[in-house]
Amino acid sequence: MAKILIVEDTPDIRKFVSLLLTERGHEVIEAEDGQQAVELAAEQRPDLILMDLIIPVLSGWDATRKIKTNPGTADIPIVALTAHAMRGDRERAWEAGCDGFITKPIDDELLEHTIDQIIAERQGKKSETGMAPAEVAVAESSRRSQSKIFTIHNEHILMATADQGLAELVAGELKAQGYRVSIAERADQALALIESVPPDLIICDTELPDLSGYEVAASLKQNARLPFIPVILITAGKVDWERGLEVNADDFIVKPVDATELLVRVRTLIRLKLAVTSEANRANELACVISQMATGLVIVDAEGTVSIVNGRGLEILGVSLDEILGISINDLIDQLGPRAPDGEIMNSSEFPLKRALVKGETVSKQIIYVYTRRGQELILRFNAAPIYNEHGQKIGAVSVFEDTTDEVNTQSRLDDQKRELERANAQLHKLDQLKSRFISTVAHELRTPLTAISGLTRLLERNKEQLAPEMQDIIRRLGTNAHYLNNMINDLLDYSRLVSGREVIKLTPFSPARLIEEVRDSLLETARGRGLQLKVELAEGLPSEVISDPVKCHQVLTNLVSNAIKYTEQGEVLIKARSVPPGRFWSVDVIDTGIGIPAEELENIFDEFHQAEKRAEKRAGGTGLGLPISNRLAQLMGGRIEVESQLGQGSRFTVIWPTNVSSLIKQSRTPADQAAL
């Protein structure tokens, strides 16, 4: 397929055309302005360029001229894209070197037809002429100079006739010229087609099986919902023309049909259709835009006299219509006293509206400081562009502007606040590092005497039978407290490593089922000691193997199950494991019948050093780091922990992990993965 360069400054249109082309197998290159188009044409050598004419930096006409005058790119076909269908636009496009012309809104079938036709023609030239690309371009330029017009006809024509021979004759001639032709044998078929997809022109035989061509024409002209559609009636003789005029037919041709005469009439009416439609569209669009604009608008004529100002423009500039209408562009500039953002007084030749009028430049988002008639200083953002008539002559300029004073001042304040926040954040980061170092130091300092205490306790336990019962109880409590303190130190060290980013995951394949059984076995006696049942349910479809850090997964699950046992007075703790559709994740639910968590505490449950009040009343102690550490570890391995709870009924903690953590490390998580989580 072909490599096609799309030159379009409107993102939505550019994306739409790109999608149409890529779906048909074409390779697409995109440019947002004319200068970029010239550079990409030379660098990428596309097979075809779709060129919007109204684009920034360098207009589509100027970009086309540059591409066509460069021997290295002169042979590349260029099809002009524009929202206007005026004849002058076409002639300017052809004069610049365009090889075709498509109007917006873009019809996808028409676009495909045009591209196929040009690509086929270009490939045919290369194979038939044997000339180098530059030579082909010179030959093509010469051919266009001789013919003056090189047109790709792509308009849709509907022919209504029951005469098969006539239909084949007319359709063949029209299709040979590039027109798209639909044929209806009956009037009702023709009217249905017109209602669904209005054609650009209708050729109607006056002799139809159900209704006459006159009745069809009358019906069309009376239908206010339809756009202007020219109608050519095929009559048996000139005596029928008077009746055709009564139903407002636009032209006539007498049987037997002369192909050349028909083509001339078709071409003339198609041009009329394009002109009428374009003028109506432009008038409607302009009126709608001006009345609905939330920005100011000023239009000057070719002499630089202000001819149009919208309501928002009057409001921003602080003037009445009588005060501004009819003044010169120089007087307008003097009234505004424009200055650049750096405070320098702006030369009048650099004012956007004057740049557009005098130099023909397209100005985008130029910031200017001005003074209004009320003496108020405003910061305005200007866009400006020249206005051309159908013959390509500059007839004025238009400027659209908006008041950005509040926006700029707000942005300035936001910038100040951002800098202040960055300073505060740096200070907080420094304090956080100090906190981490302090925690690590304290934990290590506690570890040394604790090791000695634990060792001595174990020695005493070996000979506890020789001691009095009171001493045995003291040794037991000493061992319990040492174990408790050791767990606190471990929590502090784990937390310190996590917040400092020093925690490293070690990936290895393991069985989720086996891991869960190990967690259950390690805590089974603890649960039984509290009179609780500790159950495991493994759902069908649970992955037999996952790639993650089994040690950290074990730590997370152990913490969740331990908490469930700790805060459950009676009943059971259930561990449920399952696969999460579509199979890229697996989850473990830890469900208890314990005391539950108040709703107001749930949002803080994973905060460091936080313990839910209701739980703290039941079970004193702990660092409040168990759940935060577990949550951070789950996130470190690409997962997360969710919690649901009802006070007095129990809680459900759900941890969700990827089945292959290494894939998330190598590449970003996909939207589907995010949705699955």
Span 606-617, pLDDT tens digits? 887 665 444 444
Number of H helices, E strands in the chain: 24, 22
Together in a domain, 268 and 338:
no
What's the 3-state SS for 501-556? CCCCCCCEEECHHHHHHHHHHHHHHHHHHCCCEEEEEECCCCCCCEEECHHHHHHH
Together in a domain, 45 and 69:
yes
Determine the Cα angle at 537 with ends 534 and 542, to 5°. Answer: 140
204-208, 512-516, 520-524, 580-584: least confidently modelled range: 580-584
Task: Please identify, among 459, 474, 499, the residue that sits at the C-terminal boundary of a domain.
Answer: 499
User: Of 602, 562, 587, 556, whose CA–CA distance to 658 is shortest?
Assistant: 587
Together in a domain, 312 and 432:
no
- Quick: pLDDT tens for 319-367: 888 899 999 999 999 889 998 888 889 898 999 999 999 999 999 999 9
Together in a domain, 215 and 342:
no
User: Of 39, 37, 47, 43, whose CA–CA distance to 6 is shortest?
Assistant: 37
Together in a domain, 132 and 163:
no
pLDDT at 181 over 70: yes
Together in a domain, 437 and 380:
no
Task: Please identify, among 94, 128, 147, the residue that sits at the C-terminal boundary of a domain.
Answer: 147
> How far from 324 is each of 260, 289, 318, 332, 395, CA to CA, in Å?
55, 21, 10, 8, 19
CATH number of the domain within which 40 lies: 3.40.50.2300
pLDDT at 446 over 50: yes
Together in a domain, 198 and 254:
yes
Together in a domain, 548 and 625:
yes
Give the residue numbers spanning the domain of 516.
Answer: 508-676
Together in a domain, 259 and 352:
no
What DSSP element (H or E) covers 470?
A: helix 469-500
pLDDT at 270 over 70: yes
CATH number of the domain within which 490 lies: 1.10.287.130
Residue 377 pLDDT: 86
Contacts of 219-224 with C-beta under 8 Å, sequence gap 24+, read 219/191, 220/191, 220/194, 221/247, 221/248
| 183, 159 contact by CB (below 8 A) | yes
Query: What average pLDDT does the structure give for the chain?
Result: 82
CATH number of the domain within which 319 lies: 3.30.450.20
Residue 354 has a CB neighbour count (10 Å cut-off) of 23
Predicted confidence band of residue 600 (pLDDT cuts 50, 70, 90): confident
pLDDT at 149 over 50: no
| 106, 14 contact by CB (below 8 A) | no
pLDDT at 278 over 80: no
Contacts of 111-116 with C-beta under 8 Å, sequence gap 24+, read 111/17, 111/20, 112/20, 112/24, 113/154, 113/180, 114/79, 114/152, 114/154, 115/2, 115/4, 115/21, 115/26, 115/48, 115/79
Predicted confidence band of residue 127 (pLDDT cuts 50, 70, 90): very low
Together in a domain, 465 and 550:
no
Together in a domain, 517 and 661:
yes
Mean pLDDT, residues 469-474: 84
CATH number of the domain within which 514 lies: 3.30.565.10
Task: Please identify, among 98, 130, 147, the residue that sits at the C-terminal boundary of a domain.
Answer: 147
Together in a domain, 495 and 549:
no
Query: What's the number of domains the chain is made of?
Result: 5
Predicted confidence band of residue 275 (pLDDT cuts 50, 70, 90): confident
13-17, 136-140, 302-306, 646-650: least confidently modelled range: 136-140
Predicted confidence band of residue 130 (pLDDT cuts 50, 70, 90): very low
